[in-house]
Amino acid sequence: MDARELGSRLAQLRLAAGLKQAELAARMGVHHTAIYKIETGERRPLLETLEKWVEATGHNLHFLFTQGDTGTTTMLVETEDVPLLERIGGLGQESKALLTELLDVLPDLPNESKEILGQMIRMLQIGKRSTRVEVDVE
């Protein structure tokens, strides 16, 4: 693992703990610029620094280097993303496949297409909420 990747993982631990760089630095007894340099990969931390970092963020060295690799996948996510991930987890396989296809193309869609997609979604939501009544007209 290079210094940049290690710094990124350490930043994830700090953010998951809800700490600002200055707050983490205070807990560890180091200057806040040291935190910045480590997170950006400018500086490689000593083992002692890593131990303080994981302790201050409520983790351990094993978690840092494996990110919880115990046969399951562990991800550090932003708190506001948890409800979305729970909703995705509740989808059926067919819906997940459609969502995956959408996620693959969405970043490259022109804005006009995104607007049309948004209109289609709103139409589907309206259709879901409304009750259909069929009337025979003679």
Q: Do 13 and 60 lie in a common domain?
A: yes
The per-residue pLDDT for range 37-78, each reduced to its tens digit, is: 999 999 998 888 988 998 899 887 777 776 544 444 455 556
Count: domains in the chain: 2
- DSSP class of 17: T
Given 21, 44, 66, which residue is the final one in a domain? 66
Residue 24 sits in which domain range? 3-66
Single out the residue of 4, 40, 35, 6 nearest to residue 22, CA to CA. Answer: 35
The answer to which of 30-34, 54-58, 100-104 has the lowest mean pLDDT is 100-104
Whole-angstrom distance, CA of residue 30 vs CA of residue 33: 8
Lookup: tokens for 38: 């480590």
Cβ contacts of 8 within 8 Å, gap of 6 or more: 39, 41
